[in-house]
Structure 1
Amino acid sequence: MEHGILSLLPPVLALVLVLITKRVLLSLGAGIIVGALMVHQTEDMFVNAAIADIAGTVTSIFWTADGVNTWEFYIILFLFLLGMIAALITITGGGRAFGEWALARVKTRAGAQFTAGFLGIIIFIDDYFNSLTVGNVSRPLTDRHRISRAKLAYVVDSTAAPMCVISPVSSWGAYIITIIGGILATHGVAQYGSLQAFLMIAPMNFYAVFAIIAVFAVAYWKLDIGPMRTHEHRAMETGELVDRSRGAIPGENEETVPQTDGKVADLVIPILILIGATVLFMVITGIQGTEGDAGLLAIFENTDVAAALLYGGLISFASALILAFVRRIRVSQIGLGLWSGVKSMLPAVYILVFAWTIIEVIDALGTGEYLASQVDTFIPAALLPVLLFVLAGFMAFSTGTSWGTFAIMLPIAGDIAAAVDITLMLPVLAAVLAGSIFGDHCSPISDTTILSSAGAGSHHIDHVLTQLPYALLIGITACGSFLVLGLTGSTLLGLATGAALLALLLFAVRIYTKRLDNSSAAVS
């Protein structure tokens, strides 16, 4: 039956509850239950029917009439493997060893920030792992060059989620590819698979792309604005890397002490193996999917992403485990580390299952079709990408979670695009992903922001206040890019527009900071 404006009730309820409670699972669960009741409201025993429908949807995630649902099941196993790999790298002391290696080779302040930025790009398998590892690895190097902890936290945070969200070989990539796959299947989009769609979306994620670029521009040109300027000047002039008046420094006392004789290879080998093995199995499964007679693009269109991630993760995990035994780490310590790695991924798994479920509920209610009819009446389709970017940014800022925003907004954006203009499918999905990272960077309750503060050894409130001006600059840049993308449909023009706008904004900031420096020099 047609639900009209009432079809908005489940997603709106989920959004309101997220804003009030800050609990994504509870909010998504409430939306799922209310939506299922609405779907079956005309049936006898509709409560039982709704419960059975939810149970059937959840069960189908893991089991179908043909047996195990390998796609979803493999993705979940891959997430657990990532948590265990991260734990093993920490235990073996690979992160610490890499930091000491870099310390002897990097001689400048800009070089130290570049090193942290490059680490953020390289260590992209998971944002939690990235935030904590890059901060701890880089801290000895940045401390020596009198770089404030707030600046390090900015570098860490602005490369962690932005890199994870555009990399298919990451916990984020696996999560997003799975959701996209469900959206494409729901709307009968068959011209590209979920992996190909993700790779096409990545360069459209303008906020993530320009946030990474800005990190290096800020380091090279010393673009310290707002509260960041105060922190950097204090660090350079007095050697005080944090504001001591705020109390104890977070992240200074680590519960788990890594091996002191760890090697750089303990970090590099598992990550390189994860990347290499996953790509290899993507090619192998792609060849099998095309029966061995296709070009490279066709191979990646038909690859089994979930299986490739699982196989690559297993080989990487085995290599990390072997390195742990080679370092003669106690079995009990390894066991505790592996269990902590599994537990660290449980929230991601829970959200993923709820996301798969709410996709089906929203589709059954026709929420997207109703929203699309309203948007088509009052809002030009070309403005959808920029409007969804702003909306997703507001949601992520208010809730502190990118993944929760993905779960709610991606299905709705897909439904709107399918009803209004199917050619906007990828741009609107990219806008939601980009807006979610933007809001996450601005939010004081974001878990990644909190972990970046802890990893860098910065007071959390200092990190939030110093990062906000940079996030807003990149947000303005992304708005310009999404406006052009919606109007022209060209990713290249969107990137060119964003690059020009970012260069203009950074140039203005550089002139402003130089004037401040000259004024300070004249006074002294």
Structure 2
Amino acid sequence: MNKIAYKSVLSGGVFLMAIVVGLYVNAFIPKQWVEQIYHYDVFENKQGQPSYIFKGQAQIIDQITPYADSVLTQEHLNNLTEKPAIASQWVELDNGDIAQLKPVFHFGFWSLMPAVITISLCLLTREPLSALFSGIVTGAFSLGLFDITDGVIIPYLANQSSVGLLILYLWLLGGLLGVWSKTGAAQAFANLMTRHCVKGPRSAKVITWLLGVLFFQGGTMSTVLVGTTVKPFADKANVSHEEMSYIVDSTASPIAAVLAFNAWPAYVQALIFVPGVAFLATESQRIAFFFASIPFSFYGLLAVFGTLLLSFNITRFSGKRIRMAQQRALKTGKLDADGATPLSARELHSTDVPPGYRPHAMEFLFPLITLIGIAVGTFVVSGSPEVNWAFSAALLISIGVALGKGMMLVDVVDGLGNGLKGVVLASVILMLAVVLGTLSKELGGGLYLVNLLGESIEYWMLPLLLLLLSMVIAFSTGTSWGTYAIAFPLAMPLAWSVGHVHGLQNIELYMMICFATVLNGSIFGDQCSPISDTTILSAMTTGCDLMDHVKSQIVPATFAMSAAAVLWTASVILFT
């Protein structure tokens, strides 16, 4: 049996298994309902009504029930045989605090099956589309959703976040790359950088690292900005796509946790309130706690430092795959391994400038500077970067300059079309990854993993277990921020309780270390996951094969995380 036939048989077998697993869970595995307590900063408004802030708006709490009388306590949920009658309830706890109870469920180990099937199939076949679809089928069937198109994919993508991803990464990013390819702007920029800054692979990688540090907003925005900017001159300098995608990916979220002047503290602080903990009582105190814990973001620091070493061609901790990719590019000029399938199509790998049109590097630089200026400027003003505005302005400027210089409209439209074709595969993968992440959250896989922990654990082991837990959740769901929403509300109270049980002298420092392990473990799991949006976009913008990126990145990332785990354990033992 040849390799293609083997992959086809394997894919078919796993897909059938996905269907069987989903049907089995739906028919025979009962939901395990779990009490979830959500703490808010409850205050009285001018009318004396209890209120809280949600998405920037004050919300009135209509009715508060004593905790013992609530139908959503774990004691009541243990006796349920069907869905609870109400979705949430405000309660007064024994200590007088007001909190919100919500029932959530999981299927035990079976909640992890969509992620397990997807990741296994990705690694076995290197074909993410069929792997993601298999995981979606498993998750949907487990929840009793059998109409995959109208009942799952369309509803799960019919929200502002998903539509925004589609517009940004298919239309705007694809269109911009296509116009730059048609005008020759990207190639002109690469030539300019080669003449003045980039003298070889090492300088190309160092500039990429510096840009990754400069764009410290983190996540998809940093990934797209850096990857789009560096690809032209990095390709010209013969830097392998595996190296570039790793540097781009590993200076996105890791640097955002270290240079945290971005949206991360504002989001995370809302998840780490613990009743009775004075230094986490207010929003400003929780943000201060975030910044005070930055010195313990050992993985973020080591990941960024590791990519700097790679930029200087120091590959001791980079792993065999990256060393082989580096040597392949230097000796043969091949930027991808044999048999690789880059996520960006060949339309974006070459220029097709119309006769008589003279490209200029400013056609690349001016839209790029505008893009960065709008993204950073709107973040400074409003606290949230308007990425769609930034890419829209860059695209319009690129089109306007091309038309102003005499390019025919038909050629501009042809460039736009090539750009859309160049990123359509990655955009489809990205959309399926969003659907799978939503299904995984509904199935309660992360909740199941969290509930495996107990309060009887040794204090020095808790950071490591929280680290492992957040890594697995983020790797399985492909999202770090989603992992924060699952892990932090459970990890922080647990750390407080364990610290008191063991009589730790510096419990605030202990909680900072536990906080850092969840923050960094989520980043690691997201960064290494083949279904993560940043992983996919790092491969797409640098032109790398997705699974080549995943397999080459996981070794240096694991080196950094292993060293970080040792440092966290030593910090707990020595300083708490």
Residues 8 and 352 from structure 1, CA distance in 2 versus in 1: closer, same or farther, beyond 3 angstroms?
closer
* Structure with higher helix content: 1
Q: Does 1:207 align with 2:304?
A: no
CA shift for structure 1 position 485: 3.2
In the alignment, what sits opposite 1:278? 379
Match of 1:453 among 519, 539, 542: 539
CA shift for structure 1 position 319: 6.2
CA shift for structure 1 position 324: 5.6
In the alignment, what sits opposite 2:90? none
| CA–CA distance in structure 2, aligned partners of residues 114 and 183 of structure 1 | 36
Q: Could you give the per-residue CA deviations for residues 154-208 of structure 1, whole angstroms, max 9, x where no partner exists? A: 22222123234445566xx35x632431432767622552543443344432212
Greater Cα shift, 427-436 or 19-28: 19-28
In the alignment, what sits opposite 2:237? 145
Match of 2:334 among 214, 234, 240: 240
Matched to 2:384, the amino acid is L
Residues 9 and 218 from structure 1, CA distance in 2 versus in 1: closer, same or farther, beyond 3 angstroms?
same
In the alignment, what sits opposite 2:515? 429
Residues 147 and 182 from structure 1, CA distance in 2 versus in 1: closer, same or farther, beyond 3 angstroms?
closer
In the alignment, what sits opposite 1:413? 491
Q: Could you give the per-residue CA deviations for residues 289-326 of structure 1, whole angstroms, max 9, x where no partner exists? A: xxxxxxxxxxxxxxxxxx4326x779867965874675
| CA–CA distance in structure 1, aligned partners of residues 297 and 203 of structure 2 | 27
| CA–CA distance in structure 2, aligned partners of residues 117 and 127 of structure 1 | 15
In the alignment, what sits opposite 1:309? 384
Q: Does 1:228 align with 2:228?
A: no
User: SS of 1:251's equivalent?
Assistant: coil
Residues 415 and 254 from structure 1, CA distance in 2 versus in 1: closer, same or farther, beyond 3 angstroms?
farther
| CA–CA distance in structure 1, aligned partners of residues 370 and 335 of structure 2 | 33
Q: Would the aligned equivalents of 1:395 and 1:439 in 2 still touch at CA under 8 Å?
A: yes
Q: Would the aligned equivalents of 1:112 and 1:145 in 2 still touch at CA under 8 Å?
A: yes
Question: Structure 1: where are the runs of 5+ without partners?
Answer: 34-72, 282-306, 491-524
In the alignment, what sits opposite 1:251? 344
Q: Does 1:265 align with 2:351?
A: no
| CA–CA distance in structure 2, aligned partners of residues 271 and 264 of structure 1 | 10
Q: Would the aligned equivalents of 2:303 and 2:557 in 1 still touch at CA under 8 Å?
A: yes
Residues 392 and 473 from structure 1, CA distance in 2 versus in 1: closer, same or farther, beyond 3 angstroms?
same
Q: Would the aligned equivalents of 2:437 and 2:479 in 1 still touch at CA under 8 Å?
A: no
Q: Would the aligned equivalents of 1:400 and 1:446 in 2 still touch at CA under 8 Å?
A: yes
CA shift for structure 1 position 129: 4.2
Match of 2:112 among 1, 16, 25: 16
In the alignment, what sits opposite 1:438? 524
Residues 444 and 79 from structure 1, CA distance in 2 versus in 1: closer, same or farther, beyond 3 angstroms?
closer
Q: TM-score normalized by structure 2? A: 0.56
Q: Would the aligned equivalents of 1:162 and 1:212 in 2 still touch at CA under 8 Å?
A: yes
Residues 485 and 273 from structure 1, CA distance in 2 versus in 1: closer, same or farther, beyond 3 angstroms?
farther
Q: Higher relative contact order by CA 8 Å / sep ≥ 6: 1 or 2?
A: 1
| CA–CA distance in structure 2, aligned partners of residues 21 and 165 of structure 1 | 30
Question: Structure 2: where are the runs of 5+ without partners?
Answer: 1-72, 79-102, 119-131, 145-159, 354-358, 404-408, 500-506
In the alignment, what sits opposite 1:104? 195
In the alignment, what sits opposite 2:211? 119
Q: Does 1:465 align with 2:551?
A: yes
| CA–CA distance in structure 2, aligned partners of residues 196 and 318 of structure 1 | 35
Residues 322 and 485 from structure 1, CA distance in 2 versus in 1: closer, same or farther, beyond 3 angstroms?
farther
| CA–CA distance in structure 2, aligned partners of residues 229 and 120 of structure 1 | 21
| CA–CA distance in structure 2, aligned partners of residues 15 and 326 of structure 1 | 50
CA shift for structure 1 position 213: 0.8
| CA–CA distance in structure 2, aligned partners of residues 16 and 401 of structure 1 | 15
RMSD: 5.1
| CA–CA distance in structure 1, aligned partners of residues 337 and 433 of structure 2 | 34
Q: TM-score normalized by structure 1? A: 0.60
* Structure with higher strand content: 2
Residues 107 and 401 from structure 1, CA distance in 2 versus in 1: closer, same or farther, beyond 3 angstroms?
same
Matched to 1:387, the amino acid is L
Residues 318 and 252 from structure 1, CA distance in 2 versus in 1: closer, same or farther, beyond 3 angstroms?
closer
In the alignment, what sits opposite 2:288? 196
CA shift for structure 1 position 266: 1.7
Match of 1:384 among 462, 473, 489: 462
Q: Would the aligned equivalents of 1:395 and 1:436 in 2 still touch at CA under 8 Å?
A: yes
Greater Cα shift, 76-85 or 463-472: 76-85
